[in-house]
A and B are shown apart, each in its own frame.
Chain A
Amino acid sequence: MATDISQPRTRAPRPSIGVVEWLRQNLFSNWWNSLISIVLLIIISQVLWGLFRWIIGSEGWIAVASNVRLILLGRYPSAEVWRPQLIVAMASLLLGLSGGIWRGIPLSLAAGFSGIMLLLGFVSFAMPASETPLPISTTLFLFGTAALGAAGIAAAWRLRDMLRWPVVAGWLLLYPVAILILHGSGGDTTIGTNLWGGLLLTLLLSVSGIVLSFPLGILLALGRRSKLPVIKWFCVGYIELIRGVPLVTLLFMASLMLPLFLPAEVRIDAVVRAIVAVTLFSAAYLAENVRGGLQSLPRGQTEAAQALGLNPVQITLLITLPQALRAVLPVLVGQFIALFKDTSLVVIIGLTDLLGAAQAIYTQPQWLGIPGGVWRETFFVVAGIYWVFTFTMSRTARKIESNLNVGR
């Protein structure tokens, strides 16, 4: 008797259960679970009610609302806000194009980003004329960015094959171009890094850290697996030394000792010092992650490549490294998340990043009259900003991981 395999495959039917049955199974399956559920229900409802009353009733939100620019850009001059806006717009366009080309994860990121921009645009449009009205250009910028993202998706949907390499080139160029735009090219157009701050500085530090530590970390990983003892032990020593000490030590070292290492005429500013420390730190961890990827490859890959007559450099660049990086991509996203959070330590060496902005806000004297201070509101908003970024990234990492596993 032949089985009819032409039928479309369907999932096993889910037993549908009523609300009461669901409650009984999940909350009140025995006396012990019922006790836990009741206690938790009481606590959760109390906490949520308190949170709700605080969010609605607090006077402290004004402190956050009137410091939006400090949170996002630090002391970046208000006349020059168009520069970061330009970069965000470019990033949004690139993200949209990538979404259109590769679909999948980039598409959901692009759509999400444009959606958030659109939402923020409506918020800034609908915001009543408060003490600190947002300039009309901000609203236009938000809507424009959302539109650019959408336009990117639409354009790339049609011209998929034509745009692939230009978009890759665009992403690679974005980092240097962004630095150039933000900093200006000498003369009056220059904006010193001492004025950079807030979310801008946090993003700059973490992106610089990961971008610059990437080549260094890969070299260290290859060096640690090298058969040449001098190179191997140098890399092992570097990696273990860096991983054994806290990031604060490196930040301190960079901010105090880096000026000593350089000739007296060369002055490097605090942000560059922090970037150096973050890069050196991140490279050691990246090296270990990449080494994990290299180790996970079966030996047959290298041996097959050797049999085909590839030389060691070709084997590394064309065979092992690409596969290793692909395998550890989720881990690398995880490391980027850690780095993104760790950049908040630059507060200790006196930079005003996102966390520094929070500190600056709740210590402002004009909020002294508000009972209880404004620290709760400030921390809430700033923690929320950190959270949105890291949560998005960790979800992306999880998706990449499951996509990688599908191919197996």
Chain B
Amino acid sequence: MAISSASKTTIPFYRDTRILAIIAQVVFALVMMTLFWFLYTQMMRGLDRAGLLPSFNFITQPAGFPISEAAIPFDPSRTYGYAFLVGITNTLRVAFFGIILATLLGVFLGIARLSENWLLRNLATAYVEIVRNVPLLLQLFFWLTMSQSFPRVQDAVDVGGWFYLHNRGITMAWPEATASFTAWLMIWVVLGLLLGVAFYIQRQMEFKRRDRPGVALPWALLIAFGVALLGFFVQGILSQSFPLVLNVPELQRFGFTGGLTMTTNFAALLFGLVIYTAVFIGEIVRSGIQAINKGQREAARALGLTPGQTLRLVIFPQALRIMIPPLTSQYLNLTKNSSLAVAIGFPDLFAVAGTTLNQTGQAVPVIMMVMAAYLSISLLTSLFMNWYNKRIQLVER
């Protein structure tokens, strides 16, 4: 019979796709391994010639270089490994504040691009078109040069007495904790939070019972803040000093005492990153809102929801779903772009690693450490955003 004879015929192995697939993969793996082996031996030979066999020993040796600004205390006698840690905290600091500020500015920009006010709308468009078409590094250089061309510290520009611009940075008034701070925090702030949360839960249950939407969060926040504020004054009167006092900078002969000073490098980096990333976030917000079907808004209005409720309960939750994935990649971009700090003299992860590399000559381990650090930051950010994304996605059948 034709059928059984056909099934008995053995296919030659060079035409069997299953075997071909295995052969292809083995060949590919062999070629790649040979290539990497060749590169590896070449590299080891090259490093041997230079007398620099890769080792991670330098991590425990004293760094011997200062770091101009560190979130955790640092001095040159600390180890390279510790310096690297300082670099990571600096990168995270820029990324953290950058993401928050860029999101705020970006949401504002996105809404401004959809404003019914012709002037505001076109101004936002002009801002977007100018900023996104010029390289970020150029913008960073611009902000750095600009902040360095401010007057000397002694002639700092005074903005309202609490805020000074000068060529070494921005000095501003900053709240400072006093002796009664801990008591205030432990008693009043915690009390306020508990009351706020309790109120919020109670309201939500009420809404659920009556099956109607309502506003709970602003009132809960108001309660929490109100209690904390009340405690602030009560504590202030009881212990003769407010828990927080504003530390106003004062100009002395050699510079400022008090207040908080942001260096020009940090300010330029943060400012540049925020201005640049906000444009992309703004475009995401705009297209997210525009992507929501017009019928949704109309239906919500027809059901009797107020414009505020429509935006909060109908438009925004749906727009958020569209916005989260591209927003994640913008946050990652901001974090990765913060490595441009090396060009404008802010000691972030990459800059510290660069100095380490120059001093120890250990190119391979240092670059491996840098890549591992950025990869973990990227991975953690995307894990968090993916979790959030999953939480708000539409649950379908």
> B-contacting residues of A (Cβ < 8 Å)?
26-27, 29, 33, 36-37, 40-41, 44, 227-231, 234, 241, 244-249, 252-253, 256-257, 259-264, 337, 341-342, 344-345, 347-348, 355, 358-359, 362, 372-373, 375, 379, 382-383, 386-387, 390-391, 394
Q: How far is the CA of A41 from the CA of B142 in the complex (A)?
A: 26
Q: How far is the CA of A29 from the CA of B118 in the complex (A)?
A: 11
Q: List B residues 125-173 near A (Cβ within 8 Å).
A: 129-130, 132-138, 141-142, 145-146, 149
Which of B32, B119, B137, B374 is close to A41, meaning CB atoms less than 8 Å apart?
B119
Interface contact B342-A248, CB-CB below 8 Å: yes
Q: How far is the CA of A229 from the CA of B21 in the complex (A)?
A: 10
Which of A227, A259, A347 is close to B46, meaning CB atoms less than 8 Å apart?
A259
Interface contact B129-A249, CB-CB below 8 Å: no
23 contacts between A and B (CB under 8 A): A33-B116, A36-B120, A40-B120, A241-B375, A244-B374, A245-B336, A246-B336, A246-B337, A246-B339, A249-B367, A253-B367, A260-B46, A341-B134, A341-B135, A372-B149, A375-B146, A379-B141, A383-B142, A387-B130, A387-B133, A390-B132, A390-B133, A390-B134
A363 to chain B: closest residue by CB: B145
Which of A256, A259, A341, A391 is close to B357, meaning CB atoms less than 8 Å apart?
A256
Give the shortest distance, in Å, between A390 (CB) and chain B (any CB). Answer: 4
Interface contact A386-B135, CB-CB below 8 Å: yes
Q: Which residues of A contact B132 (CB under 8 A)?
A: 390
Q: How far is the CA of A33 from the CA of B112 in the complex (A)?
A: 12
B329 to chain A: closest residue by CB: A243
B120 to chain A: closest residue by CB: A36
Q: How far is the CA of A6 from the CA of B240 in the complex (A)?
A: 91
Q: Which residues of B contact A347 (CB under 8 A)?
A: 137, 343
Which of B29, B364, B375 is close to A244, meaning CB atoms less than 8 Å apart?
B375
Interface contact B46-A264, CB-CB below 8 Å: yes
Q: Which residues of A contact B32 (CB under 8 A)?
A: 234
Interface contact A27-B119, CB-CB below 8 Å: yes
Interface contact B350-A249, CB-CB below 8 Å: yes
Interface contact A227-B21, CB-CB below 8 Å: yes
Q: Which residues of A contact B28 (CB under 8 A)?
A: 228, 230-231, 234
Interface contact A386-B138, CB-CB below 8 Å: yes
B190 within 8 A of A: no
B245 within 8 A of A: no
A43 to chain B: closest residue by CB: B123
Q: Which residues of B contact A355 (CB under 8 A)?
A: 135, 137-138, 141
B339 to chain A: closest residue by CB: A246
Interface contact B24-A228, CB-CB below 8 Å: yes
Interface contact A248-B340, CB-CB below 8 Å: yes
B117 within 8 A of A: yes
Interface contact B135-A342, CB-CB below 8 Å: yes
Interface contact B47-A260, CB-CB below 8 Å: yes
Q: How far is the CA of A171 from the CA of B219 in the complex (A)?
A: 65
Give the shortest distance, in Å, between B381 (CB) and chain A (any CB). Answer: 10
Interface contact A262-B137, CB-CB below 8 Å: no
Q: Which residues of B contact A359 (CB under 8 A)?
A: 141
B197 within 8 A of A: no
B317 within 8 A of A: no
Q: Which residues of B contact A342 (CB under 8 A)?
A: 135
Q: List B residues 104-120 near A (Cβ within 8 Å).
A: 116-120
B183 within 8 A of A: no
B134 to chain A: closest residue by CB: A383
Give the shortest distance, in Å, between A6 (CB) and chain B (any CB). Answer: 34
B222 within 8 A of A: no
Q: How far is the CA of A372 from the CA of B145 in the complex (A)?
A: 11
In the complex, the 10 A-B pairs of residues with the closest C-beta atoms, listed nearest first = A26-B118, A260-B46, A230-B25, A390-B133, A246-B336, A341-B135, A344-B135, A246-B339, A244-B378, A244-B375
Interface contact B25-A387, CB-CB below 8 Å: no
B370 within 8 A of A: yes
Q: How far is the CA of A347 from the CA of B340 in the complex (A)?
A: 11
Q: Mark B306-334, 1 if CB is under 8 A from A, else 0.
A: 00000000000000000000000000000
Q: Which residues of B contact A252 (CB under 8 A)?
A: 354, 367
Q: Which residues of A contact B47 (CB under 8 A)?
A: 260
A386 to chain B: closest residue by CB: B134
Q: How far is the CA of A337 from the CA of B24 in the complex (A)?
A: 37
Q: List B residues 377-397 near A (Cβ within 8 Å).
A: 378-379
Interface contact A256-B363, CB-CB below 8 Å: yes
Interface contact B141-A246, CB-CB below 8 Å: no
Q: Which residues of A contact B357 (CB under 8 A)?
A: 256
Q: List B residues 19-48 near A (Cβ within 8 Å).
A: 21, 24-25, 28-29, 32, 39, 42-43, 46-47
Q: Mark B44-77, 1 if CB is under 8 A from A, else 0.
A: 0011010000000000000000000000000000
A44 to chain B: closest residue by CB: B123
B371 within 8 A of A: yes
Interface contact B138-A348, CB-CB below 8 Å: no
Interface contact A261-B337, CB-CB below 8 Å: no
Give the shortest distance, in Å, between A191 (CB) and chain B (any CB). Answer: 26
Q: How far is the CA of A379 from the CA of B272 in the complex (A)?
A: 15
Q: Which residues of B contact A358 (CB under 8 A)?
A: 138, 141
Give the shortest distance, in Å, between A370 (CB) and chain B (any CB). Answer: 12
Which of A227, A229, A257, A382 is close to B43, meaning CB atoms less than 8 Å apart?
A257
Q: Which residues of A contact B138 (CB under 8 A)?
A: 344, 355, 358, 379, 382-383, 386
Interface contact B133-A261, CB-CB below 8 Å: no
Q: Which residues of B contact A229 (CB under 8 A)?
A: 25
Give the shortest distance, in Å, between A265 (CB) and chain B (any CB). Answer: 12
Q: How far is the CA of A347 from the CA of B144 in the complex (A)?
A: 15
Interface contact B117-A36, CB-CB below 8 Å: yes
Q: Which residues of B contact A248 (CB under 8 A)?
A: 339-340, 342, 350
Interface contact B343-A348, CB-CB below 8 Å: yes
Give the shortest distance, in Å, between A206 (CB) and chain B (any CB). Answer: 11
Q: Which residues of B contact A241 (CB under 8 A)?
A: 371, 375
Q: Which residues of A contact B29 (CB under 8 A)?
A: 230
Q: Which residues of A contact B339 (CB under 8 A)?
A: 246, 248-249
